[in-house]
Amino acid sequence: MPRERGEKVIATNRRARHDYTIEKSYEAGMVLTGTEVKSLRQGRANLSDGYAFVKGNEVFLDSVHIPEYSQGHWTNHSAKRIRKLLLHREEIAKIAHAVSAGGYTLIPLKLYFSDGRAKVEIALAKGKREYDKRQTLRERQDTREADRAMRLRNRVGE
């Protein structure tokens, strides 16, 4: 029985949804050292530059910054090392096929603890062009303005 229950989010990649169109997301476990887990429990991580890649029949996470543990000594880890992800074989095959076909990238969306175990949510994503980003922002702004107008109209009508 795990000591911790539920989900505790450590870091999110907020730029990912702006820069990419998310097609499908996967939950993956991570192979970590002891000091990495302790550093994550302190809530310290940065996903902004991170990406994942398939090599052979394995998936790896690169450029995710987990700073060194403050009370660690010679057993401390390097901050931006390549970490192995734990996924089912069928999921790895689907991801490898999509990435090799072209146009898709694997990016981390969220790093969290699920029932005491470190997990990362990776997404199969397609990069947005500049005009796509502007269109998304424009749509979000239009819906926000429409909601404001509806709220104002409902208040006046009361």
- What range defines the domain where residue 23 resides? 5-126
Same domain as 100, residue 33: yes
Same domain as 91, residue 27: yes
Same domain as 79, residue 34: yes
Count other Cβ atoms within 10 Å, centred on residue 53.
15
Domain count of the fold of the chain: 2
Same domain as 144, residue 100: no
Are 108 and 47 contacting, i.e. CB atoms less than 8 angstroms apart?
Answer: yes
Q: For residue range 107-121, what is the model confidence (pLDDT) as tens digits?
A: 999 999 999 899 999
With left for phi above 0 and alpha for psi between -120 and 50, is residue 102 left, alpha or beta?
left
Q: For residue range 136-151, what is the model confidence (pLDDT) as tens digits?
A: 889 989 999 999 999 9
pTM for the full predicted model: 0.80
Same domain as 153, residue 112: no
Same domain as 153, residue 86: no
Same domain as 65, residue 88: yes
Same domain as 138, residue 60: no
Same domain as 151, residue 86: no
Same domain as 18, residue 88: yes
Same domain as 78, residue 16: yes
Same domain as 139, residue 70: no
Q: Encoding tokens for residue 55?
A: 């090599």
CATH number, domain containing residue 93: 2.40.280.10
Q: Give pLDDT tens digits along the chain (158 positions).
A: 557 788 899 999 988 988 899 999 999 999 998 888 888 998 889 998 899 999 999 999 999 999 988 777 777 777 788 999 999 999 999 999 999 998 899 999 999 999 989 999 999 999 888 888 888 889 989 999 999 999 988 887 66
Residues 3 and 52: their CA atoms lie apart, in Å, by: 30
Residue 69 confidence (pLDDT): 82
